[in-house]
Amino acid sequence: MKKLVSVFVFFLLITTVMISAQDQPVIEKNTDNPPVYRYDLGDQIYTVSAAPLINLFIWNPTATPPVISGSMKVGGYISLGWEAFIDHKSSIGAELGYGFARSLDKRLYISVPILAKFSHFLLDGKFDLPISIGFGGVYSSFDDQHYFGLMVKPELGAFWNINDEWGLGLRTAYWFIPELYFGEDSSKTSYANFLTIQATVKYTQ
């Protein structure tokens, strides 16, 4: 029993010493080498992307059933993007795209997003890991119906930087497009939900 108590006290003392050591302030060595960042204020990125456009579902609160899925075939999406860095880790920019898909009865759906974009780079270096949010307007056309409204597009990207200028990557984005109607047409209100997985080429200047 005394041996067990002695061992316990010994480990208690060791733990106390370790915790005390961790609590001591860390004195960093002075160095003349500043941290190295991949991106600087004013750096710009230009992107070209192509992706399948996948209709996840359409929600119409007044319809029966309210959730409609599988009503469209997989389509396509292409886009041009531009970003400018406001610090070493964050950028603002814009995106212009064109998407298309066909319904099961072969009617054509067209979507043209025009978005402002904010990105923050969780990781930058040989590999980049940006998260982004896009917000803006979108022109939508389906059969003989036309609509211009809002669009929200959160996105996660992963890039391999081949060199200082060129990079390749993938960006997965979720589209939320509300089509809002009021008055007698309020029953037409719906919320479209899409997914894109974009293969992207980027050029940094």
Write out the DSSP string of 106-125: --EEEEEEEEEEEEEEEE-S
Q: Is-contact 132 99, C-beta < 8 A?
A: no
pLDDT at site 30: 52
CA–chain centroid gap for 65, Å, is 30
Three-class DSSP category at 172 = strand
Domain ranges for the chain: 44-204
The residue-averaged pLDDT of 38-66 equals 93
pLDDT at site 29: 52
pLDDT at site 4: 38
Listed residue (78, 83, 79, 80) closest to 45, CA to CA: 83
Q: Which range (10-14, 92-96, 168-172) has the least confidence?
A: 10-14
| CATH fold group of domain 44-204 | Porin (2.40.160)
Give phi and psi for 104, each to the nearest 5: -65, -25
What is the pTM assigned to this prediction?
0.78
Does the pLDDT of residue 36 top 80, yes or no? no
Does the pLDDT of residue 9 top 60, yes or no? no
